[in-house]
Chain A
Amino acid sequence: MTAAREPIFRMRGGSKSFSGNSVVEGVNLEIFANEIVGIAGENGAGKSTTLKMIAGIHPPNAGEMELFGKPFKPLRYTQAVEAGISMVFQEQALIPSLAVYENVFLSLESNFTNRLAIVDRSAMIACTERHMKDLGLAHIDPRRRTSDYAFHDRQMIEIAKAFALAEYFHIDHPIILLDEPTAAIGEREVTLLFDSIRRFRARASFILITHRLSEYIELCDRIYVFKDGRNVGEFAGERISEQSLHMAMVGRVRDEEYFKERRQLDVAEAPIVLSAKGLGGDNVKNVSFDVRKGEIVGLGGLVGCGKEAVGRAVVGFEPFPAAGTVEVNGKVLPVRARGKVAIANGVGFVPKERKTEGIVPYMSVEANISLASLPLVSRLTGIISAARERSLAEKHVNALRIRCSGPTQLCQFLSGGNQQKVVLAKWLARGVQVLVLDNPTRGVDVGAKEEIYGVLRDLTDHGAAILLISDDLLELIGLANRILVMRDGEIQFERNAPANDKPTEQELVRHMV
């Protein structure tokens, strides 16, 4: 390998812990010039955190870094940028109400200002335009307001920004961190992105995080594999197969115990609880499926394939594809006020954005748990009985092993996993017949994950029908009785996944791309 050359970036024993519990521990990285390095690992393995350490957003607690042979201790993101490291953020770092060119040079205008502190617009615009062209994004007009562009365009703007800044600071060989750049963009953009990355590797090194193993193989020279916040392996891109890479990531073949596969029920005879017919609208085309009593149906597919939209349609979370019908126990849910009706008919929903859609951070654990079932904790109508609420909360706090100082603690202060359990508890408390989950284990630590899987199995034992939407293939495979794979808004592939005959990831991935 390229052992002879000196790495341009080096991290030794980088560690980061948030409020006591360590997320990344003793990570060692080396980046060489013109190299594309991948960091692979499961959700919560510490990939993003590592990038943020490098980018100075979460300065490491321990360990040192070296950039271009000089020690490198960024305390703020901007410092990292000036040193030649810039990041393309997963949750976008663009301000919608500003023009594109303004976003590109956000907080750097001072370098474009004349003596009167007047910003030299034309220079900024010209510069932005050039980079857009280089990236083959001529259709993006730097003068337009950023909010005028669709998500994937904004993503590309961020990438363009990274290159622009690098050039701007006269870094002849920047390092660009890509945190799930392909998470929400379609095939065309992905290929476009990868081509441009390959083109630009002549002048830059890249660190890539993505949720698609194939992309590591396709793009990266070397791949570091992370597990539980440590890097456990290093592979040469061209030599490794997705399978073995995945092996390395999970460190073990998929463990039936982990997903409690033995508890998976046989539902061939069970009655249909949830049935969706011909769902359509905002790029979802004619999606139909049934979920039986006690069944878990996994809904997979690349991000942007429309699986979230299907979930929204089932629970009536506006805006959702309005065409087609959704039936629960034979009752059709209307389009108007579907949300309320759905809940009234025992449909629960664990949304993707936990903090803004799942919990109310300022409210106590008990208040959050009872939020969807206020009538159940009331003696007089309309008045909450403190005692009942407390006992209900305690019951579920114990049942789900929610780690908190007590039912009165604010949800804000709980860890991601425990917050997610609170969301589940909210629906358990109400007693649901249908539960729709959208990436329930996103950003949840391994332990909590396993517990959540346990809860899902319990639910099925009690006869709930579950629609599981997830980007994590293993999760789908492990949990689901049946797996639907979507692509471009349509169901591409359906496969039964009985405990004794689970599909492989490859099998599913083949139908995704």
Chain B
Amino acid sequence: MLQAWQERRGDSELPRRIITISVFAVACAAIGLAAPSFLTLSNLRAIELSSSVLLVASVGATFVILMGSIDLSVGAVASFCGMLVARMAPDFGVWSIPIGCLVGLSCGMINGLAYVYLRIPSILVTLATATTLSGAVLFISDGRSLTVSDAAVIEISQGAWLHVMPNGVLISLVVYLAAVLVGARTRFGRMTLALGSDEQTAALVGVKVNTIKIQAFALSGGLAGLAGALLAARLGSATATMGGFMTLDTVTAVVVGGTAITGGFGNVRLTILGVLFTTTLSNGLNTLAVAPHLQAIIQGIVILLAVLLNTKRVSAEDVR
């Protein structure tokens, strides 16, 4: 029957999606059973909030990973932009957030340019920019944490325009939906997939490979910037290292979401599952007050499982 559904939907990755969802459900159930307080409204709200930031960043990273590249500068860009926002909040108010995004965008664009024109592997380019930015953010903040004084900025994350959810969540959902649309329905979105799958052919039939690559990194950077801004707004403060955790968490979320780390397979839609999965897991472990080292081990194992269930696998000889 599932097969039939596939036929109709013309969608050969359906089983994977179902698997991810069910893993998610099972894990939730397990934690929920273990800690009654886990399934309380306030806690779900907490999960929403912590997911929202990661979601924004991961969505951007997905495009890069779909191309078969990787962006290790997400965390640094987020910290940098978050700090800028905190810095500018008094003078620019809410407008500091779009400015922050633009800065992130340009950071991403620098990544893209270096990657395309210096022809340096993305893992290294982004690594280097990350290092540089982490230095820069320390430089502008002098290592101090900075309070976001502007109420309007805080409102962006913690207020609730629609009373059902905090704005931070709302924004992240909007971004996510937009990204899904971009991924599925725009030229850019499809081309990132094409590049990850077969760069040569794409180039032959006239896909502007370099442009797409730069755009993807720019997008990733921009969203990382937004994520940083949201994080600052959420915490009501900015610190030099606050984005750090995102770098690997985004990769994890994207991969758990079923996008192949080697690129060319997967999509943005599934990333939200990865995000919810990772945040729920860590939240659950926190509610249970599991010892930190055990948390690390469990997270590692769960990533493995998720990938095992989720990614298309090649023969042992060809696996890289």
Contact = CB atoms under 8 A, between A and B. Distances in A.
A342 to B, nearest CB: 16
B198 interface: yes
Given A77-B205, A93-B201, A93-B204, A98 B194 contact: yes
B12 interface: yes
A96 interface: yes
Given A99-B10, A141-B10, A57 B204 contact: yes
A95 B186 contact: no
Given A76-B206, A118-B185, A95 B10 contact: no
A97 B202 CA distance: 12
A102 interface: yes
B204 A117 contact: no
A260 B143 CA distance: 81
Interface residues of A, number: 28
Nearest to B315: A318
Contacts of B221: none
Given A96-B198, A113-B186, A148 B12 contact: yes
Contacts of A102: 190
A145 interface: yes
Contacts of A143: 10
Contacts of A57: 204
A121 interface: yes
B194 A94 contact: no
B208 to A, nearest CB: 8
Interface string A74-108: 00111001000000000011111111001000110
Contacts of B190: 98, 102, 109, 119
A471 to B, nearest CB: 24
Given A57-B204, A106-B202, A106-B207, A98 B186 contact: no
B197 A98 contact: yes
Interface string A432-450: 0000000000000000000
Contacts, number: 66
A113 B188 CA distance: 11
The listed residue with most B CB atoms (<10 A of its CB), out of A57, A96, A106, A117, is: A106
The listed residue with most B CB atoms (<10 A of its CB), out of A107, A109, A141, is: A107
Contacts of A506: none
Nearest to A82: B206
A496 to B, nearest CB: 40
B196 interface: yes
A95 B197 contact: yes
B10 A145 contact: yes
B12 to A, nearest CB: 6
Contacts of B238: none
A196 interface: no
Nearest to B263: A97
A391 interface: no
B181 interface: yes
Q: Tell me the dominant secondary structure on chain A's binding face.
A: loop
A214 interface: no
B265 interface: yes
A118 B181 contact: yes
B101 to A, nearest CB: 19
Contacts of A107: 191, 202, 205-207
A119 B205 contact: no
B236 interface: no
Nearest to B197: A97
A147 to B, nearest CB: 8
Contact of B10 (A97, A117, A118, A144): A144
B45 interface: no
Interface in B180-218: 181, 185-188, 190-191, 193-194, 196-198, 201-202, 204-207
Contacts of A113: 186-187
B198 A117 contact: no
A117 B187 contact: yes
B205 A93 contact: yes
Contacts of B191: 107
A95 B187 contact: no
A492 interface: no
25 contacts: A57-B204, A76-B206, A77-B205, A77-B206, A81-B206, A92-B201, A93-B205, A95-B193, A95-B194, A95-B202, A96-B197, A96-B198, A97-B197, A98-B194, A102-B190, A106-B207, A107-B202, A107-B205, A117-B187, A117-B188, A118-B185, A119-B190, A141-B10, A144-B12, A145-B12
Given A97-B197, A119-B190, 9 more contacts: A78-B206, A107-B191, A107-B207, A109-B186, A109-B190, A117-B187, A118-B185, A121-B185, A144-B10
Interface of A: 57, 76-78, 81, 92-99, 102, 106-107, 109-110, 113, 117-119, 121, 141, 143-145, 148
Q: Please name the 4 residue pairs, one residue from A and one from B, whose CB atoms are nearest each other, closest first.
A: A78-B206, A143-B10, A97-B197, A109-B187
